[in-house]
Amino acid sequence: MDAPPVLLSEAEIAKRVKSLAEQIDQTYADAGSLVLIGVLKGSFIFLADLARNLTIPHRIEFIAVESYGAKESDVADPVRLLMDVRHAIDDEHVLLVEDIVDTGHTLAYLKRLFTAHDPASLRTCSLLHKPERTEQDVALDYLGFTIPDVWVVGYGLDYAERYRTLPYIGELPPEMR
Ligand code: 5GP
Protein backbone atom coordinates (compact mmCIF):
# COMPACT_ATOMS: atom_id res chain seq x y z
CA MET A 1 0.00 0.00 0.00
CA ASP A 2 1.43 3.39 -1.02
CA ALA A 3 1.79 6.01 1.71
CA PRO A 4 -0.36 9.18 1.41
CA PRO A 5 1.63 12.44 1.33
CA VAL A 6 2.29 14.07 4.71
CA LEU A 7 0.07 16.98 5.74
CA LEU A 8 1.10 17.02 9.42
CA SER A 9 4.19 15.16 10.56
CA GLU A 10 4.47 12.96 13.63
CA ALA A 11 6.70 15.59 15.29
CA GLU A 12 4.30 18.47 14.54
CA ILE A 13 1.38 16.48 15.96
CA ALA A 14 3.30 15.45 19.10
CA LYS A 15 4.31 19.07 19.78
CA ARG A 16 0.77 20.36 19.33
CA VAL A 17 -0.81 17.63 21.45
CA LYS A 18 1.63 18.41 24.27
CA SER A 19 0.73 22.10 24.11
CA LEU A 20 -3.03 21.34 24.09
CA ALA A 21 -2.55 19.16 27.18
CA GLU A 22 -0.73 22.03 28.91
CA GLN A 23 -3.64 24.38 28.17
CA ILE A 24 -6.14 21.79 29.44
CA ASP A 25 -4.04 21.21 32.58
CA GLN A 26 -4.19 24.95 33.30
CA THR A 27 -7.93 25.29 32.69
CA TYR A 28 -8.84 22.39 34.98
CA ALA A 29 -6.10 22.88 37.60
CA ASP A 30 -8.67 23.60 40.31
CA ALA A 31 -11.49 21.43 38.97
CA GLY A 32 -10.60 18.30 40.93
CA SER A 33 -11.29 15.90 38.11
CA LEU A 34 -12.07 15.81 34.42
CA VAL A 35 -13.90 13.35 32.17
CA LEU A 36 -12.51 13.03 28.65
CA ILE A 37 -15.10 11.70 26.22
CA GLY A 38 -13.55 10.39 23.03
CA VAL A 39 -15.68 10.05 19.91
CA LEU A 40 -14.98 6.67 18.27
CA LYS A 41 -13.38 5.60 16.23
CA GLY A 42 -11.27 8.41 14.83
CA SER A 43 -10.23 10.03 18.12
CA PHE A 44 -8.73 6.97 19.81
CA ILE A 45 -5.06 7.72 19.09
CA PHE A 46 -5.39 11.47 19.70
CA LEU A 47 -7.21 10.80 22.98
CA ALA A 48 -4.53 8.31 24.08
CA ASP A 49 -1.73 10.80 23.45
CA LEU A 50 -3.64 13.75 24.91
CA ALA A 51 -4.53 11.81 28.08
CA ARG A 52 -0.92 10.67 28.56
CA ASN A 53 0.26 14.28 28.37
CA LEU A 54 -2.20 15.48 31.04
CA THR A 55 -1.03 15.81 34.62
CA ILE A 56 -4.46 16.58 36.15
CA PRO A 57 -6.65 13.69 37.41
CA HIS A 58 -8.99 12.46 34.68
CA ARG A 59 -11.05 9.50 33.56
CA ILE A 60 -11.81 8.33 30.07
CA GLU A 61 -15.10 7.49 28.39
CA PHE A 62 -15.84 6.63 24.79
CA ILE A 63 -18.95 7.17 22.71
CA ALA A 64 -19.73 6.17 19.14
CA VAL A 65 -21.86 8.05 16.65
CA GLU A 66 -23.13 7.48 13.15
CA SER A 67 -23.73 10.16 10.54
CA TYR A 68 -26.41 9.77 7.94
CA GLY A 69 -25.37 10.02 4.30
CA ALA A 70 -26.30 12.78 1.88
CA LYS A 71 -29.49 10.96 0.84
CA GLU A 72 -30.87 11.16 4.36
CA SER A 73 -29.53 14.65 5.05
CA ASP A 74 -33.03 16.08 5.34
CA VAL A 75 -33.72 14.04 8.51
CA ALA A 76 -34.21 16.17 11.62
CA ASP A 77 -30.88 15.13 13.15
CA PRO A 78 -28.12 13.92 10.82
CA VAL A 79 -26.26 12.21 13.69
CA ARG A 80 -27.24 9.25 15.89
CA LEU A 81 -25.65 7.92 19.08
CA LEU A 82 -24.54 4.26 18.75
CA MET A 83 -22.77 3.86 22.09
CA ASP A 84 -23.22 5.99 25.22
CA VAL A 85 -20.90 6.70 28.18
CA ARG A 86 -20.65 3.95 30.83
CA HIS A 87 -20.83 6.23 33.87
CA ALA A 88 -23.03 9.26 34.48
CA ILE A 89 -21.39 12.61 33.81
CA ASP A 90 -23.82 14.77 35.80
CA ASP A 91 -21.93 17.43 37.80
CA GLU A 92 -18.63 16.38 36.17
CA HIS A 93 -16.26 18.58 34.18
CA VAL A 94 -16.50 17.16 30.67
CA LEU A 95 -14.22 17.58 27.66
CA LEU A 96 -15.47 16.17 24.35
CA VAL A 97 -12.54 14.97 22.24
CA GLU A 98 -13.04 14.76 18.46
CA ASP A 99 -10.64 13.82 15.69
CA ILE A 100 -11.96 16.31 13.15
CA VAL A 101 -14.73 18.87 12.80
CA ASP A 102 -15.99 18.90 9.24
CA THR A 103 -19.57 20.18 8.76
CA GLY A 104 -19.93 20.63 12.54
CA HIS A 105 -23.09 18.49 12.79
CA THR A 106 -21.52 15.80 15.01
CA LEU A 107 -20.12 18.22 17.56
CA ALA A 108 -23.30 20.33 17.60
CA TYR A 109 -25.33 17.17 18.26
CA LEU A 110 -22.95 16.00 21.01
CA LYS A 111 -22.95 19.38 22.72
CA ARG A 112 -26.75 19.34 22.83
CA LEU A 113 -26.80 15.76 24.05
CA PHE A 114 -24.32 16.23 26.89
CA THR A 115 -25.62 19.64 27.95
CA ALA A 116 -28.84 17.81 28.82
CA HIS A 117 -26.88 15.69 31.36
CA ASP A 118 -26.13 18.83 33.45
CA PRO A 119 -22.34 18.51 33.61
CA ALA A 120 -20.43 20.97 35.84
CA SER A 121 -18.84 22.23 32.61
CA LEU A 122 -18.70 21.12 28.99
CA ARG A 123 -15.85 22.02 26.63
CA THR A 124 -14.79 20.79 23.22
CA CYS A 125 -11.45 19.76 21.77
CA SER A 126 -10.68 18.69 18.22
CA LEU A 127 -7.38 17.79 16.67
CA LEU A 128 -8.45 19.09 13.25
CA HIS A 129 -10.95 21.55 11.79
CA LYS A 130 -11.94 22.15 8.17
CA PRO A 131 -13.50 25.65 8.30
CA GLU A 132 -14.32 25.64 4.57
CA ARG A 133 -16.83 22.84 5.17
CA THR A 134 -18.70 24.41 8.10
CA GLU A 135 -22.50 24.06 7.98
CA GLN A 136 -23.10 24.37 11.70
CA ASP A 137 -20.87 26.68 13.72
CA VAL A 138 -19.68 25.10 16.94
CA ALA A 139 -17.21 26.89 19.17
CA LEU A 140 -14.09 24.81 19.84
CA ASP A 141 -12.32 25.43 23.14
CA TYR A 142 -9.18 23.58 22.04
CA LEU A 143 -8.06 23.06 18.46
CA GLY A 144 -4.95 21.33 17.16
CA PHE A 145 -4.81 22.40 13.52
CA THR A 146 -6.93 24.13 10.91
CA ILE A 147 -6.69 22.26 7.59
CA PRO A 148 -7.97 22.79 4.04
CA ASP A 149 -10.89 20.87 2.53
CA VAL A 150 -9.04 17.62 1.81
CA TRP A 151 -9.65 14.02 2.99
CA VAL A 152 -7.15 13.23 5.72
CA VAL A 153 -6.10 9.86 7.10
CA GLY A 154 -3.74 8.52 9.75
CA TYR A 155 -3.31 9.11 13.49
CA GLY A 156 -6.68 7.38 14.04
CA LEU A 157 -8.46 8.70 10.94
CA ASP A 158 -9.42 6.25 8.22
CA TYR A 159 -10.67 5.83 4.72
CA ALA A 160 -12.94 2.74 4.65
CA GLU A 161 -11.07 1.47 7.76
CA ARG A 162 -7.66 1.83 6.10
CA TYR A 163 -4.73 4.08 7.05
CA ARG A 164 -5.80 4.52 10.73
CA THR A 165 -2.42 3.51 12.10
CA LEU A 166 -0.27 5.78 9.95
CA PRO A 167 1.83 7.70 12.49
CA TYR A 168 1.27 11.03 10.72
CA ILE A 169 -1.72 12.81 9.13
CA GLY A 170 -1.71 12.39 5.40
CA GLU A 171 -3.79 13.88 2.63
CA LEU A 172 -5.47 11.09 0.69
CA PRO A 173 -5.50 11.85 -3.04
CA PRO A 174 -8.54 10.58 -5.00
CA GLU A 175 -6.44 7.94 -6.83
CA MET A 176 -5.61 6.28 -3.49
CA ARG A 177 -9.27 5.85 -2.46
P1 5GP B 1 -19.03 16.47 10.86
O2 5GP B 1 -20.24 16.04 11.61
O3 5GP B 1 -18.27 17.60 11.51
O4 5GP B 1 -19.33 16.76 9.42
O5 5GP B 1 -18.12 15.21 10.72
C6 5GP B 1 -17.24 14.77 11.62
C7 5GP B 1 -16.83 13.35 11.25
O8 5GP B 1 -16.66 13.16 9.83
C9 5GP B 1 -15.47 13.09 11.84
O10 5GP B 1 -15.57 12.64 13.19
C11 5GP B 1 -14.94 12.03 10.91
O12 5GP B 1 -15.39 10.75 11.29
C13 5GP B 1 -15.53 12.36 9.55
N14 5GP B 1 -14.60 13.12 8.70
C15 5GP B 1 -14.76 14.35 8.21
N16 5GP B 1 -13.71 14.73 7.45
C17 5GP B 1 -12.84 13.69 7.47
C18 5GP B 1 -11.56 13.47 6.85
O19 5GP B 1 -10.96 14.31 6.14
N20 5GP B 1 -10.98 12.27 7.10
C21 5GP B 1 -11.58 11.30 7.86
N22 5GP B 1 -10.92 10.16 8.02
N23 5GP B 1 -12.78 11.48 8.46
C24 5GP B 1 -13.41 12.66 8.26
- Starting at the edge strand found earlier in the chain, the sheet holding 79-83 runs 79-83, 58-67, 34-40, 93-101, 121-129, 142-146
Q: What is the mean pLDDT of the chain?
A: 94
pTM over 0.85? The answer is: yes
- Which residues have any ligand 1 atom within 6 Å of their CB? 42, 67, 98-106, 151-153, 157-158
Given this model, what pLDDT does residue 75 score? 63
Residue bearing the CA closest to ligand 1, atom 12: 42
Rounded Cα–Cα distance for residues 67 and 77 (Å): 9
Ligand 1 centroid to 30 CA: how many Å?
Answer: 33
- Find the range with the poorest average confidence among 12-16, 70-74, 111-115, 122-126: 70-74
Instruction: Tell which residue, 80, 98, 84, 87, has the closest CA to residue 43.
Output: 98
Angstrom distance (rounded) from CA 177 to CA 162 = 10
97, 125 Cβ separation under 8 angstroms:
yes
Q: Which residues are identified as catalytic?
A: 102
For ligand 1, mutation pick of 102, 137, 140 (most atoms within 8 Å of CB)? 102
Q: How far is the CA of 103 from the centre of ligand 1 (A)?
A: 8
Report the separation in Å between the CA atom of 153 and the middle of ligand 1, taken as the mean of its atom positions.
10
Complete domains list, the chain, with CATH: 6-151 (3.40.50.2020)
Least confident of 16-30, 75-89, 98-112, 128-142: 75-89
Q: Work out the average pLDDT over 13-39.
A: 97
**Nearest residue CA, atom 16 of ligand 1?**
102
Q: What is the mean predicted confidence (pLDDT) over 9-34?
A: 97
pLDDT score, position 77? 72
The pLDDT tens digits of the residues spanning 52-93 come to 999 999 999 999 999 876 555 556 678 999 999 999 999 999
The mean per-residue pLDDT over the stretch 140-159 comes to 98
